[in-house]
Structure 1
Amino acid sequence: MTLWQLQMLAAVADSGSLQGAASQLHRTQSAISMALKKLEDEAGFALFDPSGYRLQLTPRGEQFLRQAQEVIKQQARLESLTEKLQQGAEAQLRIAYDHTCDPVLLIDALRSLQVAFPATELLLLGESQMRTLRRLREGEVDVGLCPWLPVFRQYGDFETRFVEPFTLAVVISSELAAQTGGVPTTREALLDLPMLIPQNMDVGISLDAILRLPGQQRIRVNDSHTQRELLLAGLGWGVIPQQLVARSLAEGQLVQLSIPGFLNQAQLEVHLVRAANRIAGPAAAHLWERL
């Protein structure tokens, strides 16, 4: 059976007559009648009951039509995909984002992509420890969203676009502070407390080297959301994206540390990043402009 036969079946069911289907499909009534008979012969059962004023689907015909309509819809989607691919749209757009960034930043741009490029599949990849940059450098993703420092340019040939500010804060749970004699006010006081520290960044950045706090117990995690839960549980202090703990700070579950001569806050930026040596497809270019 052919796609045209299925379209003819749907037209007859919709109009309730051979003449109506012939008018819809711009064919003669005899051509529709012959095509319907051939389809019923191939199916092996009657699709319509001709005894009434209008042609009515038989129970088997109703079930057959439901599946036929799905085939017709899939064919229409395939035509749309073919048209978009002919225009050069990517079959798949691969987007990586660092877990320290709020994925809500992508929502409006993704919604716009769905409308502008309905045939492009969107693949979202959450990453930790700046692995987004490695994926971009190695061509595993098309666009990335991650914290950005100018020094990262030595890691690869990147183009970037500013999205929003990004702040790292030093925090401790109010419960742990109470258990250990109050909120630490000196660098030395931190040495007696466990430190929740991200694993070394994929771009070679070591927080150990930056913070220079030898001796204390460390708990290393590769996910900022897990780090937040450990901080809330009072398992140590740590440096974490402020937007991830803003609510906990406002509610008093966490306290931000302010120690003279020590890292209290670090001001960074969230950037959209892509490899400069690759030509962006239209969907990737659309995301770049929208975000």
Structure 2
Amino acid sequence: MKLNQLEMLVLLAETGSVQAVSERMHRTQAAVSMALKGLEEDVGVPLFDRSGYRLTLSAQGWQFLRQAREVVKQHQRLHSLAAQLQTGAEPQLHITYDYTCAPAVLFPVLQQVQEQFPATELLLSGESQLRALRRIREGEADLALCPWLPIFRQHGDFETVRVRPFELWVVCAPALLGDVAVEQLQRQDLLELPMLIPQNQDIGIDLDQIMRIPSQQRIRVNDSITQRELLLAGMGWGIIPGDLIGDALERGSLVRIDIAGFLTHVNLEVHLVRSAERIAGPVEEMIWQFFSQSSHEKSS
């Protein structure tokens, strides 16, 4: 059983004639008929109905065809993979993102990657806090999406490109405030309410220093996703990236707290990060250039 025999079988089902198969595969009709007969002998069951004017598939032939098509498709995919490997396209690309950064910003360029490099497998993984940078530094990921501070360069030889601003908002569930309107909140009111805060960021962000107000009750969690769920449950108020709770604000499940002098201004940005010590493949470079061009257009 040879691949070209399976290809002939598939074409016969699509075109309906041995002549069309011979034209498509640049073989004589006699060579096609002989190859199909040899396939039938190898399989050991009648694949064709020869009672009519044209050669057609038998019931068993149609059943065999389903698997033959899959084999032909897999062969075509292998050809595509081989061609891309010859050009240096990565078999896999691992992208990690910090949970504080919604990964949807990556989706437009990842769709382009799927179209231009279908053989490259994309691996996406979320990380709590800023461990995404460690994955880059240790060679466990190719690209990372995370909040960026210049101090992070002390932890590795990184190259970065700006993706968008990083906004931190103070929010809570309306039920937590009781009869107090959010517009009337004072600093003292928050002192009497529990505060939900991520555990200390271990690569440079200290939310305790960002907040200008203490709280008598604190619940610390180890990631912003859990913090968001606790906020929605009315367990306390907290400071959280705007990307993670925009939909909740629109629904009214959460409300923003804005008290003058309450929150130290935070000038952060979300960056795409990679190691400056590695040579990027074409897929990684395509993603990088997508954000580099976008950043250049916004700054010009």
TM-score (norm 2): 0.87
Query: How many residue pairs align between the two structures?
Result: 290
Question: Could you tell me which residue of structure 2 aligns to residue 100 of structure 1?
Answer: 100
Q: Is the aligned partner of 1:170 residue 2:164?
A: no
Partner SS for 2:23: helix
Rounded to whole Å, the distance in 2 between the matches of 1:272 and 1:198 is 22
- TM-fit CA distance, 1:245: 2.7
Structure 1 match to 2:243:
243
- Superposed CA deviations along residues 53-104 of structure 1, whole A, max 9, x for unmatched, are 1111100001111211111111011100000010000001111111211222
Gaps of 5+ in 1: none
Q: Which moved more, 1:251-260 or 1:112-121?
A: 251-260
Name the CA distance, whole Å, in 2 between partners of 1:175 and 1:80.
Answer: 57
Change (3 A) 1:27 1:242: closer
Q: State the match for 2:110 in structure 1.
A: 110
CA distance in 2: counterparts of 1:34 and 1:166, whole angstroms: 68
Task: Say if 1:24 and 1:248 are closer, same or farther in 2 by CA, change over 3 A.
Answer: closer
Where does residue 133 of structure 1 map in the other structure?
133
3-state SS in 1 of match to 2:167: strand
Match for residue 26 of structure 2? 26
d(CA) in 1 for partners of 2:15 and 2:129?
A: 61
Tell me how large the CA RMSD over aligned residues is. 2.4
Contact 1:168 1:267 in 2 (8 A): no
Counterpart secondary structure, 1:266: coil
Contact 2:90 2:282 in 1 (8 A): yes
CA deviation vs aligned residue, 1:217-246 (integer Å, no higher than 9, x gap): 322223323312211222111110123333
After superposition, residues 181-220 of structure 1 pair within 5 angstroms as 184-186=185-187, 189-203=189-203, 205-208=205-208, 210-211=210-211, 216-220=216-220
Aligned mates of 1:252, 1:32 — CA distance in 2: 69
- The aligned counterpart of 1:80 is 80
- What residue ranges of structure 2 are gaps of 5+ in the alignment? 292-300
User: Per-residue deviation at 1:262?
Assistant: 3.3
Seq. identity, %: 58
My pick for the range that moved more, 115-124 or 248-257, is 248-257
Provide the rounded CA distance (Å) in 1 between the counterparts of 2:158 and 2:219.
32
Contact 2:159 2:276 in 1 (8 A): yes
Query: In structure 1, what residue type is equivalent to 2:29?
Result: Q
State yes or no: 1:54 paired with 2:85: no
Report Cα offsets for 1:117-147 as digits up to 9, x if no partner: 1111111111220111111111111011111
**CA shift for structure 1 position 170:** 2.0
1:20–1:164 Cα change, 3 Å: closer
- The answer to whether the 8 A contact 1:185-1:257 is kept is no
Distance 2:110 2:208 in 1: 37
Matched, 1:90 2:106: no
Equivalent-residue separation in structure 1 for 2:254 and 2:29 (angstroms) = 78
Q: Is the CA contact (8 Å cut-off) linking 1:167 and 1:265 kept in structure 2?
A: no
Moved more, 66-75 or 8-17: 8-17
Q: CA 1:84–1:281 in structure 2 vs 1: closer, same or farther (change >3 Å)?
A: same
| CA deviation map 1:148-180 (0-9, x unaligned) | 111111121111111111111222333222268
